[in-house]
Structure 1
Amino acid sequence: MKNQWNVDHNKFTQADIKKVIDTDVLVVGAGNAGMMAAAAAAEKHAKVMIVEKEASINLLRLGLGGVGTNAQKRAGLTINKHDLVEYLAAFAQHNVDEGLIYHWANHSAEAVNWVEDNILKPHGAHLRSEPDAMVTSSAYEGFPTENDPTIDDQTFASYGDWFQEKIAELGVDLQFNTALVDLVKTDDMVTGAVVKNVQTGEYLQINAPKGVILCTGGYSANKDLLKQWNPLALKKNVYNDSPRNNGAGITSALNVGAIKDEEPAECIFDRGLVPVGTKTDEMYVQTATYQDWLWLGSHPLLKVNLRGERFANESVPYQFIVNAASKQPGYQYAMIWDDNYGEYAKQFHTLGCARVGFPGYMASAEKLEADTQQYVDKGLVVKADTIEELAEKLHLPVDALKKTVARNNELVKANIDKDFGKEAYRLTPVDKKPYYGCILGGRILCTSDGLRVNKKMEVMNAAYDPIKHLYAAGNDSGGFFFGSYPDRVPGLAASHAQTFGRLAGQQAAEN
């Protein structure tokens, strides 16, 4: 049914369209995928327009995954592509299009190198390969895929403004405050889109005979779509960190006969700090500022359910502890630690953004402690001189928490986790007061179940045939992720978006 999935609930007619604009390629969404798609199409001399419903481009991610990048070659680093692809497919229980994952692995270096050569180097920056992903157990297998933009090899270099300058140089027309309403389809071909200026309410039609590329970023901000496609996400998560991702790209494609992944995929971080007593089904905060984001939450400290009992190995990918908590009462969990946590953080060897020191966001243990202290001051992290007092402040059963902490300390002394198999170097005692605790839930960064695409990034219909001149990249495209995000492949999400955005842009321009 036409408009069955229309995110823009304002009905419009042809008479409401006040202006018609002509371009060659229309890109919807100015994030990792959209900016790359626009640059790639413009480099092939297509006339390109990007529409973005917000007033700025979306955050361009800092850690860029890749296989065989120039930065990795300079570092003498080689990644076994077949091992990596099989890991990703197995991580998803092969509920993916493995050929698409190989397609990413085969082309990821091209996208990463393009960013370095065209965006970073002209501004004195470069990419630094991060070679230290290590394997200490089957629970912590990692791949050194991360490449970080930097000028001094000690801090990140943000490159969003530079990218925006580049696409302007290439002649791309970037229109902000312009939201996708619906696609225009003529016979069996998408020929453009109807959009709306969100400030004036005016409807426009953009004709794009070479192609429309959907890069709007999934649907994590749309609670109605989550209820239909991923209802558990609303129970596991207390924050959504992508409030602009309303599902418009995916729903507009469904309107013209597209198909999407049938099972959900999502990227969740275990850093959602909530007040004691919060009910998950009463909280889903949309935030673009990472409100109440506890960096320490991703460290493998003691974690217990709301009955004060340990329930999982804390040394697992970020999302796994949130998944495990969804099988516990209340869908939330508590994290417990003692006053030595700054020292413990140095020994954990966390990867990606949870790392202490560059390229993490916490430059030192002292900065991690200061970040945590702000939430003590705010009352979201509680502090106590006894475990009994800590349990009471967290609304946890006192006897159960005392028993769990005592057992944890026994395992530390034995230097072996006989209960859940956490690596010995990640076992830490809770025996130096003051003691700390907090209540945590998930925070969803994005959904990753998207429109089914082929290797040309063409969106497919129910017969698995391409819908002519309709493309998708980033989190609007599917077939690549299933269930949880594999964070042991650092930089994968940004690389998936940029690599497939680049391929979509090239393909559309060649029509």
Structure 2
Amino acid sequence: MRGLLNLDRRGFFKAAAGAGVATAMGGVLAGCAPQPKSAASATDELAATGTSWLGEAPVIDESEITQTIEADIIVVGGGNAGTMCACAAAENGATVAVIEAQAKADIFYYGLHDIASINSQYVLDSGLEPIKKGEFLAEYQRRTHNKTNPRLVKKFIDASGEMVDWLVGKAPQEVLDKAHVAHFTTNSEYFKLGSSLNGFKCWPGYVQIDFQTTAPALIAEAEASGATWYWEHSGVVLETSTEEVAVQKETVDPSGAVTFIDATEPRTTVNAVIAQDAEGNYLRFVGTKGIVLTCGDYGGNPEMYAALQDEQRWLFESHGLDAEDLHCMGFGRDGSGIKMGLWAGATLDPGPRCLVSPQVMYESTDFATNVLRWGSGFNAAAAEVAAGAGGASQNPWGTPFVCVDGSGKRFTDETFLGIFGTLSQVERRKPGRYYFFFDNKWKETMARMAPEHFSQPVGVPDSISYDDLFNSWVERGAKGAPTEEGGTVCAWAANSLDELFDYMGLDEAMRPTVAEEIARYNSFCETGEDEDFGRDANLLQSITEPPFFGMYSVFEKPMTGTVTLNGLVIDDDQRVLDANYNPIEGLYASGNNSGGRFAVQYSTPMSGLTLGFAMTLGRELGKGLATGTI
């Protein structure tokens, strides 16, 4: 596969299983050709030119075009958003051509199959209460500091329920037999307490649907309606024409009087996209109703990543780390769809530019990756109990447990924004081990935690109970909980804190500091006020009842995330906009090829929002183009 990170299919599944990933990587390239990288450092080039990663648009001579294909809608990239767009368009009577770089037999669709939706009938029939749409929108915009496009978010809110019900109606029976609504039963007390902590609110209800197995059925139905998938074809460049158009521009004189003057502005039209097949032949695809870019993100392109992910680059540099080869782990695309849009006159989502972090795949330079995957301490705890039964658990960042740094001191409200708040603090601190402590009241403590994405240990098979998991730590004593027989350990349990500290190997200087911090925290639990960090009173659960549990995770370097989440600037109808905020005629973008959906960080009032947005907005775009409502 072109443009992928150097990870074969078997290697991905092996790595994914170790990180508790339920399914395979998805839509990895989404149909776009890789672009050549410069030999110079991306950081140095950025300082010199700002956009050296963009390069010049390829020029394909007319004599090299071997075939011209015309359809109502051309979809460049057949990943999650592209597939939904194409299938919806075909269902509504449009002719569709899908350009997809991967082979039909090898395509992966992004994600863990967690799909966020609001008020689908499928979810409501499971017993969940309807979500107030305005309340969800207000929470989402508050989390993003109103930097996301509220009308795009509202379109997701209004249409995502219908999308999930449509998907359920199309999915094969083998998928439906395993599909379910995530009620967050482990967070039951959180919902009883009002679903709000630290002023942030979360909702249950994302749906687990295996899109990897469902997509072929959707494609077959679309092909029966006249759509065509061009497998192993990569988008290369858009063909455009530009003309000056007359406009009225407003001016204001010093007295405040408003006048209008005649002026002109350039307006660009996209007429076609040039693609290349596996043999190197160039084909022209003409979309009479529009060309849709659904090529995914730029997380697999180190040059673009280093230039555009400012915060991660600065974090790496602040730790004295090399920022030249930064990239997302496992899922990142090559950014060529975004480049095609920019060459056509589009603009890029302004900062802050965020990504899905933490990431589902980890690597380490100094530590055993089978146990210390940048904060995946629960992996070790669950692996022995879950051996042969489906994999290990996710990491403890953002759990409601007490966390101390390498000096033995608390340093933040461990529950703030689930995993994201603690991770943001850790990445700004000294690398090393970070230790988590809790006691036998863990069920009550976890039940009160907000269901932020990745905030709870996940991935332990249904046949394995957490009681069995934690009891195994007590039984093993000093042996702890290894990832494999004889492997390194990072989780223990004991009937006294002193015994626990012995098992964990805390040195004589650190032991009293940790004990004092736990005692201080317990005093806050008695008074109901965390005087150090303002932890929500509902999550002030003391560490007083044996057995006591301890584990550690390692921060070695900042995470680079799973996918990047900013793309081309689009309007409410997903039309790509130029520098004057005018639509580029005939050009649309959806999924992670587009912007306006995420900002600041991937903080989630409901899990599965990356897939929920991509699949919902992709489907809405396909319907709108086919029916002429866009």
Length-normalised TM-score, structure 1: 0.80
Q: Is 1:189 aligned with 2:262?
A: no
CA distance, structure 1, for counterparts of residue 601 and residue 315 of structure 2: 12
Alignment equivalent of 1:160, drawn from 205, 212, 218: 212
Q: Is 1:427 aligned with 2:427?
A: no
Give CA deviations for 1:18-64 in whole Å, capped at 9, x if unaligned.
54443332222333211111111111222222233343031355333
TM-superposed deviation, 1:103: 2.4
Partner of 2:423: 322
Give CA deviations for 1:108-128 in whole Å, capped at 9, x if unaligned.
222222112222679655663
The verdict on how the C-alpha distance between 1:481 and 1:355 changes in structure 2, with shifts beyond 3 A counting, is closer
Indicate conservation of the 8 Å contact 1:21/1:205, yes or no.
yes
TM-superposed deviation, 1:211: 1.8
CA distance, structure 2, for counterparts of residue 170 and residue 16 of structure 1: 31
Q: Is 1:128 aligned with 2:208?
A: no
Partner of 1:230: 309
Partner of 2:501: 387
CA distance, structure 2, for counterparts of residue 309 and residue 375 of structure 1: 31
TM-superposed deviation, 1:86: 1.0
Q: Is 1:439 aligned with 2:554?
A: yes
Indicate conservation of the 8 Å contact 2:419/2:454, yes or no.
no
Alignment equivalent of 1:148, drawn from 181, 188, 207: 207
Partner of 1:153: none
Aligned partner of residue 94 in structure 2, secondary structure: coil
Indicate conservation of the 8 Å contact 1:458/1:470, yes or no.
yes
Q: Is 1:469 aligned with 2:586?
A: yes
Q: Is 1:243 aligned with 2:331?
A: yes
Q: Is 1:58 aligned with 2:109?
A: yes
Moved more, 429-438 or 301-310: 429-438
Alignment equivalent of 2:84, drawn from 4, 17, 36: 36
TM-superposed deviation, 1:78: 1.8
CA distance, structure 2, for counterparts of residue 192 and residue 70 of structure 1: 39
Partner of 1:27: 75
The verdict on how the C-alpha distance between 1:429 and 1:438 changes in structure 2, with shifts beyond 3 A counting, is same
Aligned partner of residue 561 in structure 2, secondary structure: strand
CA distance, structure 2, for counterparts of residue 273 and residue 392 of structure 1: 26
Indicate conservation of the 8 Å contact 2:58/2:237, yes or no.
no
Indicate conservation of the 8 Å contact 2:453/2:603, yes or no.
no
The verdict on how the C-alpha distance between 1:246 and 1:461 changes in structure 2, with shifts beyond 3 A counting, is same
CA distance, structure 1, for counterparts of residue 152 and residue 108 of structure 2: 27
Partner of 1:493: 610
Partner of 1:208: 287
Indicate conservation of the 8 Å contact 1:338/1:435, yes or no.
yes
CA distance, structure 2, for counterparts of residue 194 and residue 378 of structure 1: 52
CA distance, structure 2, for counterparts of residue 376 and residue 350 of structure 1: 34
TM-superposed deviation, 1:77: 1.6
The verdict on how the C-alpha distance between 1:338 and 1:352 changes in structure 2, with shifts beyond 3 A counting, is closer
Partner of 2:298: 219
CA distance, structure 2, for counterparts of residue 174 and residue 345 of structure 1: 50
What pairs up with 1:69-108 in 2 under 5 angstroms?
A: 69-74=120-125, 75=127, 77-108=129-160
TM-superposed deviation, 1:270: 7.2
- State the AA in 2 paired with 1:138: L
Moved more, 419-428 or 233-242: 233-242
CA distance, structure 2, for counterparts of residue 311 and residue 184 of structure 1: 54
Give CA deviations for 1:165-217 in whole Å, capped at 9, x if unaligned.
222222133344433322222443223323334x5444443333322212222
- State the AA in 1 paired with 2:93: H
Structure 2's unaligned 5+ residue stretches are 1-34, 37-50, 243-267, 317-325, 368-372, 380-390, 474-480, 494-498
The verdict on how the C-alpha distance between 1:335 and 1:474 changes in structure 2, with shifts beyond 3 A counting, is farther
Indicate conservation of the 8 Å contact 2:237/2:340, yes or no.
yes
TM-superposed deviation, 1:459: 0.8
The verdict on how the C-alpha distance between 1:276 and 1:337 changes in structure 2, with shifts beyond 3 A counting, is farther
Aligned partner of residue 208 in structure 1, secondary structure: strand
TM-superposed deviation, 1:435: 3.8
CA distance, structure 2, for counterparts of residue 203 and residue 366 of structure 1: 60
CA distance, structure 2, for counterparts of residue 292 and residue 260 of structure 1: 38
Instruction: Give RMSD over aligned pairs.
Output: 4.2
Moved more, 206-215 or 453-462: 206-215
CA distance, structure 2, for counterparts of residue 176 and residue 490 of structure 1: 31
Moved more, 237-246 or 501-510: 237-246
CA distance, structure 1, for counterparts of residue 613 and residue 201 of structure 2: 17
Q: Is 1:337 aligned with 2:337?
A: no
- State the AA in 2 paired with 1:173: T
CA distance, structure 1, for counterparts of residue 92 and residue 410 of structure 2: 56
Q: Is 1:374 aligned with 2:483?
A: yes
The verdict on how the C-alpha distance between 1:413 and 1:62 changes in structure 2, with shifts beyond 3 A counting, is same
CA distance, structure 1, for counterparts of residue 296 and residue 312 of structure 2: 16
Indicate conservation of the 8 Å contact 2:575/2:587, yes or no.
yes
- State the AA in 2 paired with 1:185: T
Partner of 1:449: 566
Give CA deviations for 1:449-473 in whole Å, capped at 9, x if unaligned.
2212122211111111111121111
TM-superposed deviation, 1:308: 3.8
Indicate conservation of the 8 Å contact 1:240/1:444, yes or no.
yes
Moved more, 437-446 or 216-225: 437-446
Indicate conservation of the 8 Å contact 1:71/1:127, yes or no.
no
Aligned partner of residue 445 in structure 1, secondary structure: coil
TM-superposed deviation, 1:249: 1.8
CA distance, structure 1, for counterparts of residue 427 and residue 307 of structure 2: 18
Partner of 1:268: 357
TM-superposed deviation, 1:312: 1.5
Partner of 2:248: none
CA distance, structure 1, for counterparts of residue 98 and residue 486 of structure 2: 43
Identity of matched residues, %: 19
- State the AA in 2 paired with 1:265: C
TM-superposed deviation, 1:335: 3.5
Indicate conservation of the 8 Å contact 2:398/2:455, yes or no.
no
CA distance, structure 2, for counterparts of residue 271 and residue 309 of structure 1: 28
Greater C-alpha radius of gyration: 2
TM-superposed deviation, 1:85: 0.8
Moved more, 406-415 or 80-89: 406-415
Aligned partner of residue 184 in structure 1, secondary structure: strand
Partner of 1:174: 229
Indicate conservation of the 8 Å contact 1:388/1:398, yes or no.
no
Partner of 2:413: 313
Moved more, 379-388 or 456-465: 379-388
Aligned partner of residue 268 in structure 1, secondary structure: coil
The verdict on how the C-alpha distance between 1:243 and 1:78 changes in structure 2, with shifts beyond 3 A counting, is closer
Partner of 2:44: none
Give CA deviations for 1:328-382 in whole Å, capped at 9, x if unaligned.
234x76242368597577545552764879x966534268669974279643736
- How many residues are aligned here? 491
- State the AA in 2 paired with 1:445: T
Give CA deviations for 1:465-496 in whole Å, capped at 9, x if unaligned.
11112111112221222111232223322221
Partner of 1:112: 164
Give CA deviations for 1:220-273 in whole Å, capped at 9, x if unaligned.
222222222213224669983443422222221111111221111222127776
Partner of 1:152: none
